[in-house]
A and B are shown apart, each in its own frame.
Chain A
């Protein structure tokens, strides 16, 4: 079974600074998908960024980028120019390839952006 580990329960960052959230996972599969989801106080799950394991290039979405290290099974999220609206829980998630699979989530990192 796949597992996803987020070792930082809480983090804080000053507004406009950069922060990196860590995630490691365990799988015996060679192809899969990785995601970062944001959950603000409204509890809506919002997809921030996705990475396909067969792609070596790290995914980027505006201020959000990942550092995907397949051999190390590491998938960290970097948030640049942090904004107050980035305050939320962030969940790292894993899904086997082929679609129509359950998503396995980590326990989350609570990020507080300080003005």
Chain B
């Protein structure tokens, strides 16, 4: 059973460009979480999604950031008009559908804004 997949692993964008980060949850998992890790810090929750629904986006910046988890395909975290402060590692985690509490993490995408 493949783990949580994230791509790309490394992404370089110039200021003002858009960044799209992809997350494929583990097989059978229908819940996806995105976290951001700034340099020298712990992970901070951004958003929690189920298929076609955003459940909790309390950690998501209100401007420029959006997330989706369509019926088919991976979850996407989209950052528009990136700024240097967006440089960070972005982690995706998934959990199964039936009242399970453990989240399984992907390897992360390291975004660098130049």
Contact = CB atoms under 8 A, between A and B. Distances in A.
Interface string B83-102: 00000010101010001111
A45 B95 contact: no
Contacts of B35: 103, 105
A95 B100 CA distance: 12
Nearest to A97: B101
Contacts of B16: none
B108 A99 contact: no
Which label, helix, strand, loop or mixed, suits the secondary structure of the A interface?
Answer: loop
Which label, helix, strand, loop or mixed, suits the secondary structure of the B interface?
Answer: strand
Q: How large is the interface on A (under 10, 10 to 19, 20 to 34, 35 or more residues)?
A: 20 to 34
Q: Which of B33, B58, B101, B110 has the most CB of A within 10 A?
A: B101
Nearest to A102: B45
A26 B63 CA distance: 30
A49 to B, nearest CB: 12
A68 to B, nearest CB: 16
Contacts of B101: 33, 95, 97, 99, 101
Interface of B: 31, 33, 35, 41-45, 48, 55-56, 58-59, 89, 91, 93, 95, 99-105, 107-108, 110
10 contacts: A43-B108, A44-B105, A44-B107, A45-B43, A99-B99, A100-B48, A103-B45, A104-B45, A105-B42, A107-B41
Given A45-B91, A47-B102, A100-B95, 9 more contacts: A33-B101, A43-B108, A44-B107, A45-B43, A45-B108, A46-B105, A47-B104, A99-B100, A104-B45
